[in-house]
């Protein structure tokens, strides 16, 4: 009888402990910047592997429709954290100085902006100077288009005319010859052009990062409310993310399995290439290796704040000190995630 009572008590305690631990998990709603494509593996993989759960977090990850929307939704409280372009975050801060819940960047993931100008070789455009007097196209909210004045200034480009369109039409209009060049994320537009029958070798790509524009790209952002109330949860998220991101960079194909689990109709081969392009161009870039994954250099961030203030014509000047908080970053050992440099 005593033995049975002991087993019942033990089972009850175990159930209570399980119940308590389940309720101790911190719920975090996270929004990506875009659809479930290759680069989303950096987030979906650690979620699928249970790394967030192991860290005491109950994380839900939703797709997005642009960095501006992600910043706004974190600011509104709809989401606790997100993944968004640093320039979009700066723009929100400077255009909404009185907003009560302005999100803050807590980890840099794309050390360089993925923005690029792309043209077809048959156009005769081979370098930035060839864009003078040409017709460029991009959606109005495109990060590359909004930051184009910085690219223009760095490369003495003048007198360009813009055509606006919805995102799905951008590469189609370039292929048709309606426009001479486009701006977009290099790893997205290049593969979109290929999907429209253009050979990669027939595309001229001018990444902003290789042409005098050292803007930071996408960062993990968090609401000030979460940072104030539970900074440990933010650090736990970043630690689990870093663990998963390291594995994805070692084996992009494994990471894509987690993306396919969320969107069964993706083209696995295409998205694996997109992920690898993103890793090589902006995550494990030379600048990221020099500065350290996840981190920023204050002087570079300050320059970007000034450039964004001018290019985006913001209501107030961007204050670099209020858009970034690196105090919750995990240790250097945890942030040591970049693969060996390719020879």
- The residue extents of the domains of the chain are 25-111+216-311, 115-210
Residue 252 burial (C-beta neighbours within 10 Å; 0-12, 13-18, 19+): buried
Please state which of the ranges 14-18, 28-32, 163-167 shows the lowest mean pLDDT: 14-18
Provide the pLDDT for residue 299.
98
Provide the pLDDT for residue 9.
52
Same fold, 25-111+216-311 and 115-210: yes
Tell me the pLDDT tens digit for each residue of 74-97. Answer: 999 999 999 999 999 999 999 999
Provide the pLDDT for residue 22.
43
How far, in Å, are 59, 73, 92, 151, 211 from residue 319 at the CA level?
30, 21, 11, 21, 25
CATH number at 25-111+216-311 = 3.40.190.10
Non-local (6+) Cβ contacts of 112 within 8 A are 207, 208, 209, 214, 215, 216, 217, 281, 282, 285, 287, 288
Residue (of 133, 135, 126, 145) closest to 184 by Cα position: 145
Whether 18 shows a pLDDT value over 60: the answer reads no
d(CA 293, CA 296): 9
Expressed in angstroms, the distance from the first to the final Cα of the chain is 70
Whether 73 shows a pLDDT value over 90: the answer reads yes
d(CA 74, CA 100): 12
Whether 10 shows a pLDDT value over 70: the answer reads no
pLDDT band at 20 (very low <50, low <70, confident <90, very high): very low
Owner of token pair 């320039």: 87
- Starting at the edge strand found earlier in the chain, the sheet holding 115-120 runs 161-163, 135-137, 181-185, 115-120, 203-207
- The percent of residues above 90 in pLDDT, for the chain, comes to 91
Tell me the pLDDT tens digit for each residue of 268-300. Answer: 999 999 999 999 999 999 999 999 999 999 999
Per-residue pLDDT, averaged over 209-230, amounts to: 97
pLDDT band at 4 (very low <50, low <70, confident <90, very high): low
- The percent of residues above 70 in pLDDT, for the chain, comes to 93
Per-residue pLDDT, averaged over 23-44, amounts to: 94
Q: For the chain, give percent helix, strand, coil, nearest 5.
A: 50, 15, 35
Whether 21 shows a pLDDT value over 80: the answer reads no
What backbone phi and psi angles, to 5 degrees, belong to 50? 85, 15
Helices 86-95 and 67-76 meet at what angle, rounded to 10? 50
CATH number at 115-210 = 3.40.190.10
Tell me the pLDDT tens digit for each residue of 166-208. Answer: 999 999 999 999 999 999 999 999 999 999 999 999 999 999 9
d(CA 205, CA 208): 10
d(CA 170, CA 297): 34
Other C-beta atoms closer than 10 Å to the C-beta of 3 total: 7
Tell me the pLDDT tens digit for each residue of 108-155. Answer: 999 999 999 999 999 999 999 999 999 999 999 899 999 999 999 999
Residue (of 22, 48, 52) closest to 238 by Cα position: 52
d(CA 89, CA 160): 27
Mean pLDDT of all residues belonging to the chain: 93
Residue (of 91, 94, 76, 74) closest to 33 by Cα position: 74
Provide the pLDDT for residue 6.
52
Instruction: Please answer whether residues 205 and 183 qualify as being in contact, where contact means their C-beta atoms are separated by less than 8 angstroms.
Output: no
């Amino acid at each position: 009888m005593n033995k049975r009572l002991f087993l019942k008590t033990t089972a009850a305690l175990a159930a209570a402990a399980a119940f308590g631990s389940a309720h101790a998990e911190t719920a975090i709603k996270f929004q990506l910047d875009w659809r479930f494509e290759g680069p989303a593996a950096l987030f979906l993989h650690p979620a699928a592997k249970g790394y967030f759960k192991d860290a005491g977090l109950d994380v839900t990850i939703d797709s997005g429709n642009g960095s501006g929307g992600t910043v706004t939704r974190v600011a509104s409280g709809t989401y606790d954290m997100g993944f968004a372009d640093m320039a979009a975050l700066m723009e929100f801060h400077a255009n909404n100085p009185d907003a009560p819940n302005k999100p803050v960047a807590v980890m840099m993931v794309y050390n360089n902006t993925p923005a690029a100008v792309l043209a077809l070789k048959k156009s005769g455009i081979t370098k930035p100077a060839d864009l003078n007097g040409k017709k460029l196209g991009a959606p109005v909210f495109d990060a590359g288009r909004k930051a184009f004045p910085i690219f223009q200034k760095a490369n003495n480009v003048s007198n360009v005319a813009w055509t606006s369109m919805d995102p799905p039409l951008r590469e189609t209009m370039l292929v048709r010859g309606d426009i001479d060049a486009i701006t977009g994320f290099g790893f997205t537009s290049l593969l979109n052009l290929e999907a429209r029958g253009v050979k990669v070798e027939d595309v001229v790509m001018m990444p902003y990062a290789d042409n005098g524009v050292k803007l930071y790209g996408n960062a993990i952002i968090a609401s000030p409310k979460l940072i104030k109330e539970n900074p440990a949860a933010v650090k736990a998220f970043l630690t689990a993310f870093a663990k998963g991101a390291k594995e994805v960079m070692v084996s992009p194909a494994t990471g894509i399995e987690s993306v396919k689990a969320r969107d069964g109709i993706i083209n696995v081969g295409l998205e694996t290439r997109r992920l690898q392009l993103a890793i090589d161009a902006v995550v494990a870039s030379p600048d990221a290796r020099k500065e350290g994954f996840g981190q920023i250099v204050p002087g570079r961030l300050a320059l970007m704040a000034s450039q964004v203030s001018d290019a985006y014509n913001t209501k107030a000047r961007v204050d670099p000190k209020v858009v970034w908080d690196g105090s919750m970053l995990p240790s250097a050992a945890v942030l040591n995630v970049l693969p060996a440099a390719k020879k």
